[in-house]
Amino acid sequence: MKLRLPLGIIFAVLLASLATAAEKAPKAPKAPDPTFAAITDTPGLPRVLLLGDSISIGYTLPVRARLAGKANVHRPPENCGETARGVKSLYKWLGPGKWDVIHFNFGLHDLKYLDEKGAYVTPDQGKQVAAVAAYEKNLRTIVARLQQTGAKLIFATTTQVPSASAGRVEHDELPYNEVAVRVMKEFGVGVDDLHALVAKQQEKIQRPHNVHFTDDGYVQLAEQVVASIVPLLPPAAKKTGLDKEREATDRSTD
């Protein structure tokens, strides 16, 4: 006697088999993030280094595009995270080359709250990565090391922590920025006040309940970052490639 299974059961078994096969199939490799791509320097142009967290990652490409022909813009191929990581990783990030301008920020990853597993939590369920005093100590170490490079330095203030942000408390960036600005003044380091820029239009350019920004928001941040960098570039490097071509043409027709 032959046992006949209902079509529904046969179909369900077939779907399960296909799902299992799909899970075992190798996944297509993720496309590399162009933000982290290695940069081949254009000879003769100054070198700019961007250091920072995901906010700086968001404005890296538009900054690089706006400084094309004016500067070689680099960044570490990672999120620079909190100041403690900065202290440990600066030598790796700086590398052996000479830097003309370094634009940097730390803050959002210092003020966040994590549990024992590293998950974002509310203050009552975890610990803050670095209190203001620890942040200041680490920041001083970072600035002292960056000054040894001989580069012109620019510190970007930490942008807003909106309400209901994961692992962070609204307005917690304020005391961190207050300390950072004081430290920069003591060291003679310029400040790019991105916090003030966002304050004028936070609802328009920052995502709701999220420290990150819209595409337009990152473009606006990039424009201010560029505006802070350009005056510090070596004088000859302020001319674009097009400017140099025009000068060469003018000389040939004299």
Write the DSSP assignment of 128-184 as a string of letters: ESS-HHHHHHHHHHHHHHHHTTT-EEEEEPPPP--TT-TT--TTTHHHHHHHHHHHH
Full domain range(s) for residue 139? 44-234
Whether 22 is covered by a domain: the verdict is no
Bridge partners, residue 128, by sequence = 113
Domain count, the chain: 1
Per-residue confidence band for 51, with pLDDT thresholds at 50, 70 and 90:
very high
Per-residue confidence band for 104, with pLDDT thresholds at 50, 70 and 90:
very high
For residue range 211-253, list pLDDT tens digits in order: 999 999 999 999 999 999 999 999 755 554 445 554 554 455 4
Whether 112 is covered by a domain: the verdict is yes
**pLDDT over 50 (residue 106):** yes
**pLDDT over 90 (residue 25):** no
Whether 34 is covered by a domain: the verdict is no
Whether 205 is covered by a domain: the verdict is yes
By CB neighbour count within 10 A (0-12 exposed, 13-18 middle, 19+ buried), where does 159 fall? buried
The predicted structure's pLDDT at residue 186: 98
> Residue 201: which of 182, 220, 228 has the closest Cα?
220
The predicted structure's pLDDT at residue 160: 98
Instruction: In whole angstroms, give the CA distance from residue 132 to residue 178.
Output: 10
For residue range 3-14, list pLDDT tens digits in order: 555 655 655 555
The predicted structure's pLDDT at residue 246: 47
Rg (CA), the chain: 24
Whether 207 is covered by a domain: the verdict is yes
The predicted structure's pLDDT at residue 15: 53
Whether 230 is covered by a domain: the verdict is yes
Dig out the tokens for 165 from the structure. 């942000």
Residue scoring higher pLDDT (18 or 166): 166
Question: What are the phi and psi torsion angles at 176 (to 5°)?
Answer: -70, -40
pTM: 0.83
Residue scoring higher pLDDT (23 or 48): 48
Whether 213 is covered by a domain: the verdict is yes
The predicted structure's pLDDT at residue 118: 97
Question: What are the phi and psi torsion angles at 153 (to 5°)?
Answer: -110, 145
For residue range 63-94, list pLDDT tens digits in order: 999 999 999 999 999 999 999 999 999 999 99
Least confident of 28-32, 51-55, 68-72, 193-197: 28-32
State the maximum Cα–Cα separation within the chain, in Å, rounded to a whole number: 104
Whether 253 is covered by a domain: the verdict is no
Measured CA to CA in angstroms, residue 7 lies from 10, 14, 18 at distances of 5, 10, 17
CATH code of 158's domain: 3.40.50.1110
For residue range 114-134, list pLDDT tens digits in order: 999 999 999 999 999 999 999
For residue range 29-49, list pLDDT tens digits in order: 777 899 999 999 999 999 999
